[in-house]
Structure 1
Amino acid sequence: MVTRIGALEQQLWDFVSAYDAAFDRASEDNGLSAAQACTLTPLTGEKHTMSELAGLLLCDASNVTQIVGRLETRGLVSRTPDPADRRVKQVAITPDGRRLRRAVAKSFTFPRERVARLDDDEQEQLAHLLAKMLS
């Protein structure tokens, strides 16, 4: 017998899986892997060190080094030595990287489409429940 919590866990798992699959498709539709698209996401205006990026992405620094290397080869990010410590590399998004990041965000319609299925009261309730779950 499936408990209510067990059923909710499965629904959450199904939602997260669908979300991830939709992000993968949006990334691939724009010529990126999901990992590459995720790496572009936190790169806004300021530069980040490789270790900062690894922390933001919750992954190992060696993975970030490989992903950033591929993005750099495509001209989507640049790496420069940190002026305070030349052993440390800073990563910045390029104009082409910004354009591609925006294209992925535009293609990633899954969250907007799913939330739009809810009326205003349901959206407010969902926001409240998600905040409660995440606190």
Structure 2
Amino acid sequence: MTGAGSALDQQLWDLVYAYDAAYDRAARAAGLSAAQACLLDALTGGSRSMGRLAVELLCDASNVTQLVTRLEAGGLVTRVPDPDDRRVKQVSITPAGRRVCRAVQRAFDFPSDRLGRLTGRERSQLSGLLAKLLAPEASSPS
């Protein structure tokens, strides 16, 4: 199964690369980097500390600082001291940031475009297979 496994591995990588490239194009269309768009998207659920953003975005705190500084300069986020611990900075999305975030989401048509190529039955089957692949403890094939 080495040959089939490696072809499937390549298809998965191709999907990841295509998804990432499409997201990058959508972010750039809104004047952002993909990392900036991800940070804005993370804030749509509410404010976060700089440290929490670093954990959620799987990046170094210094990267978050640079991203927040650029987004803050553009009026897309605000950064204020946490009322409970003034050493901690809370980051919030602004109304302008929400508008830009929605623009990225509208421009990011890769998932709907690709899933639209499948029938309802195929989408249901794919959903089940992805759930199985993404489950914490995957069961062994029978």
How would you bin the TM-score normalised by the shorter chain?
over 0.9
What is the number of equivalent residue pairs in this alignment? 135
Alignment of 1:28-47 (within 5 A): 28-47=28-47
Opposite residue 59 of structure 1, the aligned amino acid is C
Distance (Å, rounded) in 1 between the aligned partners of 2:78 and 2:108: 25
Partner residue in 1 for 2:66 = 66
Distance (Å, rounded) in 1 between the aligned partners of 2:129 and 2:46: 33
Percent sequence identity is 61
What's the TM-score, normalizing by structure 2? Answer: 0.92
Partner residue in 2 for 1:110 = 110
What's the TM-score, normalizing by structure 1? Answer: 0.97
Unaligned runs of 5+ in 1: none
Partner residue in 1 for 2:55 = 55
Distance (Å, rounded) in 2 between the aligned partners of 1:63 and 1:73: 16
Distance (Å, rounded) in 2 between the aligned partners of 1:2 and 1:114: 28
Q: Give the ranges of 4+ consecutive aligned residues of structure 1 lying more than 3 Å apart after TM superposition.
A: none
CA RMSD of aligned residues (A): 1.2
Distance (Å, rounded) in 1 between the aligned partners of 2:60 and 2:122: 38
The alpha-carbon deviation at position 2 of structure 1 amounts to 6.0
The alpha-carbon deviation at position 42 of structure 1 amounts to 1.0
The alpha-carbon deviation at position 45 of structure 1 amounts to 4.4
Distance (Å, rounded) in 1 between the aligned partners of 2:63 and 2:101: 19
Alignment of 1:5-16 (within 5 A): 5-16=5-16
Opposite residue 27 of structure 2, the aligned amino acid is S
Opposite residue 118 of structure 1, the aligned amino acid is L
Distance (Å, rounded) in 1 between the aligned partners of 2:120 and 2:20: 25
* 37-46 vs 99-108, greater mean Cα deviation: 37-46
Partner residue in 2 for 1:124 = 124
The alpha-carbon deviation at position 3 of structure 1 amounts to 1.1
Distance (Å, rounded) in 2 between the aligned partners of 1:57 and 1:12: 22
Alignment of 1:79-90 (within 5 A): 79-90=79-90
Secondary structure, aligned partner of 2:43: coil
Distance (Å, rounded) in 2 between the aligned partners of 1:37 and 1:131: 26
Distance (Å, rounded) in 2 between the aligned partners of 1:73 and 1:91: 13
